[in-house]
Amino acid sequence: MSVQGPQQVLELAKVSRTFGEGATAVAALREVDLSIRAGEFVAVMGPSGSGKSSLLALAGGLDRPTSGGVFVESTPLGGLELNELARLRRRAVGYVFQDFNLVPTLTAAENVALPLELDGTASRKAQRQALDALCQVGIPELADRFMDQMSGGQQQRVAIARAIVGDRRLILADEPTGALDSTTGHGVMEVLRGRADAGAAVMLVTHEARHAAWADRVVFLRDGRIVDQAAAMHDPAMLLAQAGH
């Protein structure tokens, strides 16, 4: 069993994931240990194929490890029935995908309210919380728009609003700035950082150093293993020393 502090929102303990069997088996993750506390923003970097997206899928209970344990707020995901897992995902975990995964026949506010309503929240309350989330990502005026009336950047903001709605404690984002221009990408990072500062645990998968730099900790994956970590020093005197001035 795992030993966790009270603030540990996500813990992966010796997590391995292998696809296929025998000679054609591919190890996507090999005995990965990773914990994220409440209020901590962790970025995961590594080349394509290094296991980044597998890690995110396991962290959110979208996939199950071949061995090892995944814990969200001390709950072992491996011990949950499918319906319990789905419930935990709706309540505690928010996802942001690169390709948005929004429902085209729903408005922005309806898309954002969807996970709450699926979880039994009254429609009016869900709509109110959805509007609040849309405010946080800076597009409350687009609440009644359908997806085909919005730009890629606006759709991604809706997707982020859906991930943070209702006070999610764990936010998982997979290359959320992939299709966006740099200004919009910056805005996405501001929202994720804001959620972490407000107490959520955030895990971001990215290949952009510029975006990873918003995190408190950067984890480097290679060939399914964590090979390095970098934590910010936050020492202003060091900044200039590093810059060579």
Judged by CB under 8 A, the number of residues near another protein is 34
Smallest distance from another protein to CB 216, Å: 8
Looking at residues 208 to 227 of the shown chain, list those that interact with another protein (rule: CB under 8 A).
Answer: 209-210, 212-216, 218, 220, 222-223, 225, 227
Q: Between 124 and 245, whose beta carbon lies closer to another protein? A: 245
Strand-pair category, 67-72 with 8-19: antiparallel
Tokens at 25, concatenated: 């088996």
x-marked contacts with another protein along 56-95 as a string, rule CB under 8 A: ----------------------------------------
Burial (Cβ within 10 Å: 0-12, 13-18, ≥19) of residue 1? exposed
Instruction: Give the C-alpha separation, 7 to 36, whole Å.
Output: 9
Q: Between 103 and 233, whose beta carbon lies closer to another protein? A: 233
x-marked contacts with another protein along 179-198 as a string, rule CB under 8 A: --------------x-----
Instruction: Give the C-alpha separation, 214 to 67, whole Å.
Output: 31
When binding is defined by CB under 8 A, the residue of 5, 47, 79, 152 that contacts another protein is: 47
Instruction: Give the C-alpha separation, 193 to 84, whole Å.
Output: 29
Q: Between 117 and 223, whose beta carbon lies closer to another protein? A: 223
**Residue 31 binds to another protein (criterion: CB under 8 A):** no
SS (H, E, C) 27-76: EEEEEEEEEEECCCEEEEECCCCCCHHHHHHHHCCCCCCCEEEEEECCEE
- In the chain, beta strands by DSSP E: 8-19, 26-37, 41-45, 67-72, 75-76, 93-96, 170-174, 201-205, 217-222, 225-231
Residue 204 backbone phi and psi in degrees, to 5: -115, 125
**Residue 232 binds to another protein (criterion: CB under 8 A):** yes
Smallest distance from another protein to CB 189, Å: 9
**Residue 50 binds to another protein (criterion: CB under 8 A):** yes
**Residue 239 binds to another protein (criterion: CB under 8 A):** yes
**Residue 235 binds to another protein (criterion: CB under 8 A):** yes
Q: Between 3 and 237, whose beta carbon lies closer to another protein? A: 237
Smallest distance from another protein to CB 53, Å: 12
Looking at residues 95 to 134 of the shown chain, list those that interact with another protein (rule: CB under 8 A).
Answer: none
**244's torsion region: left (phi>0), alpha (psi -120 to 50) or beta?**
left
Say how many CA atoms lie within 13 Å of 86 toward its Cβ: 6
Q: Which residue reads 């390709």 in tokens?
A: 99
Return residues touching another protein (CB under 8 A).
45, 47-50, 193, 209-210, 212-216, 218, 220, 222-223, 225, 227-236, 238-240, 242-243, 245
